[in-house]
Structure 1
Amino acid sequence: MDLGDELLRARVGAARAAIEALSVGKIMADCRRSLSKLGALEERSGPPDSSNFGHFEALIQVLQHPYVSGICGVNKSFLGSPSSRAHVDLVGMYDGKPAWMVVSDRNPKHVSWPELRSRAEILVQAAVANPVTRPDFLIFYFARGVERGVAESFKSEFSEYQIEVDDLHKFSEVEAGEWLLVDEDQEEESLSSSWISLPVKAAVMYRLKVAPAIVFEGEVINANEYTESIVGIVEHGLEESGFYRILKDVSRDWGGRSERVELVNLDTTALIGLVCGISNGVASSLAWCSVKQLQKKYSSFGHFFKTQALLELERPFLREVAMIFRERQPMVSQFAWKEFDSIVSVIGGPDEQRRAAALHDCLKPFIVPDNPSERVMALPQTGRIHGKHKIVFGTGDSSQAPTLTSNISFVRAAIAKGMALGFIEHRPLALTRD
């Protein structure tokens, strides 16, 4: 084995480890598999200097960026005009907003301005052509930088898109698949070697805004509402439960934060998960029952309840949600709350209805008018894309809030249409009538 083969194997191993280290929120499972297959293909294409493996490494560098998440497409193309298509390396979210990402590992001497301008124009045309797939940002990442003339022309000719140059040099090392901020005075020799391929100092990322970003302008809960919510919890007799601790987290004074408040949009499935018996102490008794016993109470859903009870004992739902609420203020669309309230009032048991009433007391300041984004509402109606889902997910999208949901069929259907959609998946749960 010559030195070139050994180098390629080492880089391939580092790349595989980097892909595995990416968090679930960074990239969807099928996209992770696509990346792995792409890496295997590049591995077979020859020595690193004669293959596109540098481009593959640059893709992973972008994925490791802290503002990049929710990757739902790899190597996608979109119609720019009747005679041209725009190639996009990654489709996902950047700082909570939909983005198309284009990655280059070319030698700066071989990046010509006419060629780059032509590609950027096609990408802009494709980005604004369809409201369903339209991103807020176009991201151009040059792993080896660009020459000064190209950089100046880029910023000058695309100034109408509020082009910004992201400072990549404040992120100088990677730990567990994430870029870290480090002291600017830190010696380069002391930096971590956990990069798959440490970007040269010339690496640059350009960000073009192609759609207006809608900023959440709603009010955060104040101290008086916080006090009223806690009183409501005590009145419902839930002050000793894990559910109470969740609501206490939700009801804290979000207005005391100095930084921007991140949001999470709760859909009907998430609300049901919060109040259902399985996540509130019934799982143990259900787990001890046989499927046949459960079928007497839940008919054909006996096996589902058995499975969910066992999963709850292994990974408590409220514990997982608590981690989200520590970082994100909840929001609920009016449609989602009305649907949830209707379901609980019809099939919820007494305890589940009591928890739903306490939940309403705490979430009342966070229930917002339905305000779905234009792009989500533009999704065509299909068997998996219904109007009610577009309202709920679209309201979260317009507030730059990922939706906490188990409705993955809608998410996958939207992604299949080329849309980058912010979401956090949770396992499905149902009311137990306790």
Structure 2
Amino acid sequence: MDADKECDSLITLDTIIKQTQKRCEAVMDKIEILPNLSLSCKRTLTRLVQSELAFLSRLTSTDSTTSVCVNIGHIESVVHVLQQPNISGVSRVCKTIGLQNTTSKRAHVDIVCTFEGNPVWFVVSDRNPKYISWYGQQESSRNKGLCDKIQLLLEVAHNSVALKPVSIIFFFSNGLDRFTLDKFHTEFEPVDLKSKFYNFDFSFSKELEGEWIDILSRSYQHASVLEIKVNCPQMDKNQLPFIKPNNTNLTGSFGDLISLMMLSNNGKTDGDIVNFDTTALVAIVSGISNSGTQKLLDTPEDELKARFKGNTEFVISQVLSEIESPIHMDIIKVISGRKCVICESVCAEFKELVLMCGGVNEKLRAEQLLKVVVVVPDSPSGRMMSLPTTRKLGLKNKIVFGTGDYWHAPTLTANMGFVRAVLQTGMSLFTFEHRPRALTGD
């Protein structure tokens, strides 16, 4: 959907310029602190704001009370959506996506990301509802109606591979008029998602003389948020096998974590799952994560260097990290209410790694851990496997993360290099990051 315009001819041009400049500065501040947004995405948004400022700088206050059209409201709305807590894995903002092998059909998508774990596209509009036409001007290719734009988006989505979304979500910050809303529901049967969006009264603030004050605010109370499903196979997560209860008397945080896994995997949940890669399994059984920090700190430096060689500093940094914030507590928060799965490749790699590098206690913990996770076949998603296999996008990792993607599940990982490489391709990916832990031979 093309960038939307807002017009105001009721106040002087000088006032419009000053107000819009303040909005640009405020939204620029918001962009800088957006969490989990890549540098390239921030640069794209920043360039759009700078373009608005450049346009404003070319206007003069002597041009009478003419109307001025700006795009800053559209950028504000995109930033508002990006701040929603159920959005992650943002890989693209404000880009066009075209049909493969053709340049004639392209659709504007404001956000490519995951929403509640599913890959989605967001299309954002800040237009006044009375200027949103359902049919548009049929004789003009530049003034297509909303219906035609939706159909183009669906066609591009259906024919995408790596970027294919489960759904397209339309965020109309000023809502839709009754006729357009009724036509939208009649022809596309969307799901209303407004109840899943937070902070509809939204303010831009600025620090002045040591205090934060609201300088601009706007409300999204009248927004319409509509989701159209794209025809993608849906996985029945409740068909995953359950793990039979196993009588264990494990203690400590490892015992708490294992008990929680047994509870999640042995009973009906809401169908949510979490996929572990090998780094996550290692972190769970590592001696560092299991009361071994003081023992390592008390070990003479020459002995540590003989054991860990060039990785000594890396291991000590993990010890200090564990003392500051125990990793089992972080993982417990992630897995609560979710079935815990690993793919066959991870299972095999983990067993081999523990056999070669694990100590007696780490091997015992690994044995207990593998009894309570669900092993699923390697089944990487089509969109993951459509990415080229490169040094940064290795086949092994594509299989592991792709299996999580196939189940529409987050992958718990410390391998953020692979995650960044995937996001750089433009594909969104649902992951949870954990701090790395090494096997210590404990």
Q: Quickly name the TM-score band, shorter chain normalised.
A: 0.7 to 0.9
Matches within 5 A, 1:336-355: 336-355=346-365
Instruction: Quote the offset at 1:56 in angstroms.
Output: 1.7
Match of 1:209 in 2: 229
- Is this contact kept in 2: 1:11–1:196, CA < 8 A? no
Identity score, percent: 32
Please, which of 68, 73, 95 is the counterpart of residue 76 of structure 1?
Answer: 95
Please, which of 317, 324, 331 is the counterpart of residue 307 of structure 1?
Answer: 317
Letter in 1 for 2:292: V
Matches within 5 A, 1:330-341: 330-341=340-351
- Structure 1 pair 298–194 and aligned structure 2 pair: CA distance change class (3 A): farther
Instruction: Quote the offset at 1:410 in angstroms.
Output: 2.0
Instruction: Quote the offset at 1:97 in angstroms.
Output: 0.9
Please, which of 288, 291, 300 is the counterpart of residue 278 of structure 1?
Answer: 288
Letter in 2 for 1:210: V
Helix, strand or coil for the counterpart of 1:394? Answer: helix
**Gap runs ≥5 in structure 2:** 1-13, 58-66, 137-143, 205-213
- Structure 1 pair 362–101 and aligned structure 2 pair: CA distance change class (3 A): same
Helix, strand or coil for the counterpart of 2:107? Answer: strand
| Structure with the bigger percentage of helix | 1
Worse-matched range after superposition: 14-23 or 281-290: 14-23
Q: Which has the larger radius of gyration?
A: 2
Helix, strand or coil for the counterpart of 2:225? Answer: strand
- Structure 1 pair 289–420 and aligned structure 2 pair: CA distance change class (3 A): same
Deviations 1:140-167 (A, max 9, x none): 211112333433444444x3xx533334
Letter in 1 for 2:191: E
Instruction: Quote the offset at 1:340 in angstroms.
Output: 0.7
Q: Distance in 1 between matches of 2:131 and 2:399?
A: 47
Q: Distance in 2 between matches of 1:335 and 1:79?
A: 34
Q: Is structure 2 residue 420 aligned with structure 1 residue 389? A: no
Please, which of 172, 191, 216 is the counterpart of residue 164 of structure 1?
Answer: 191
Match of 2:306 in 1: 296
Q: Distance in 2 between matches of 1:147 and 1:124?
A: 22
Q: Is structure 2 residue 63 aligned with structure 1 residue 55? A: no
Instruction: Quote the offset at 1:10 in angstroms.
Output: 6.5
Q: Distance in 2 between matches of 1:175 and 1:291?
A: 54
Match of 1:264 in 2: 274
Helix, strand or coil for the counterpart of 2:88? Answer: strand
Letter in 1 for 2:359: G
Instruction: Quote the offset at 1:9 in angstroms.
Output: 7.0
Instruction: Quote the offset at 1:273 in angstroms.
Output: 0.8
Q: Distance in 2 between matches of 1:300 and 1:150?
A: 65
- Is this contact kept in 2: 1:55–1:105, CA < 8 A? yes
- Is this contact kept in 2: 1:287–1:310, CA < 8 A? no
Q: TM-score, normalised by structure 1?
A: 0.80
Worse-matched range after superposition: 333-342 or 299-308: 299-308
Please, which of 158, 168, 171 is the counterpart of residue 128 of structure 1?
Answer: 158
Letter in 1 for 2:332: A
- Structure 1 pair 167–194 and aligned structure 2 pair: CA distance change class (3 A): farther
- Is this contact kept in 1: 2:264–2:340, CA < 8 A? no
Match of 1:102 in 2: 123
Instruction: Quote the offset at 1:172 in angstroms.
Output: 6.4
- Is this contact kept in 2: 1:334–1:367, CA < 8 A? yes
- Is this contact kept in 2: 1:277–1:433, CA < 8 A? yes
Instruction: Quote the offset at 1:385 in angstroms.
Output: 1.9
- Structure 1 pair 53–262 and aligned structure 2 pair: CA distance change class (3 A): same
Match of 2:140 in 1: none
- Structure 1 pair 73–200 and aligned structure 2 pair: CA distance change class (3 A): same
- Is this contact kept in 2: 1:265–1:396, CA < 8 A? yes
Helix, strand or coil for the counterpart of 1:98? Answer: strand
Instruction: Quote the offset at 1:77 in angstroms.
Output: 2.5
Letter in 2 for 1:206: L
Q: Is structure 2 residue 108 aligned with structure 1 residue 87? A: yes
- Is this contact kept in 2: 1:291–1:306, CA < 8 A? no
- Is this contact kept in 2: 1:165–1:205, CA < 8 A? yes
Please, which of 251, 257, 260 is the counterpart of residue 249 of structure 1?
Answer: 260
Helix, strand or coil for the counterpart of 2:239? Answer: coil
Q: Distance in 2 between matches of 1:30 and 1:303?
A: 32
Helix, strand or coil for the counterpart of 1:296? Answer: helix
Q: Is structure 2 residue 415 aligned with structure 1 residue 415? A: no
Instruction: Quote the offset at 1:99 in angstroms.
Output: 0.6
Instruction: Quote the offset at 1:39 in angstroms.
Output: 4.9
Instruction: Quote the offset at 1:16 in angstroms.
Output: 6.2
Q: Distance in 1 between matches of 2:316 and 2:242?
A: 38
Q: Distance in 2 between matches of 1:334 and 1:31?
A: 35
- Is this contact kept in 2: 1:294–1:306, CA < 8 A? no
Deviations 1:201-226 (A, max 9, x none): 2x21221222323331334647xx23
Q: Distance in 1 between matches of 2:215 and 2:333?
A: 27
Q: Distance in 2 between matches of 1:207 and 1:172?
A: 19
Give the aligned CA root-mean-square deviation in angstroms.
3.4
Helix, strand or coil for the counterpart of 2:397? Answer: helix
Q: TM-score, normalised by structure 2?
A: 0.78
Please, which of 364, 369, 386 is the counterpart of residue 359 of structure 1?
Answer: 369
Helix, strand or coil for the counterpart of 2:218? Answer: coil
Instruction: Quote the offset at 1:383 in angstroms.
Output: 1.2
- Structure 1 pair 399–310 and aligned structure 2 pair: CA distance change class (3 A): same
- Is this contact kept in 1: 2:411–2:430, CA < 8 A? yes
Letter in 2 for 1:302: T
Q: Distance in 2 between matches of 1:4 and 1:164?
A: 37
Instruction: Quote the offset at 1:379 in angstroms.
Output: 2.0
Q: Distance in 2 between matches of 1:284 and 1:164?
A: 54
Match of 1:322 in 2: 332
- Structure 1 pair 328–8 and aligned structure 2 pair: CA distance change class (3 A): farther
Instruction: Quote the offset at 1:119 in angstroms.
Output: 2.9
Worse-matched range after superposition: 30-39 or 132-141: 30-39
Worse-matched range after superposition: 164-173 or 138-147: 164-173
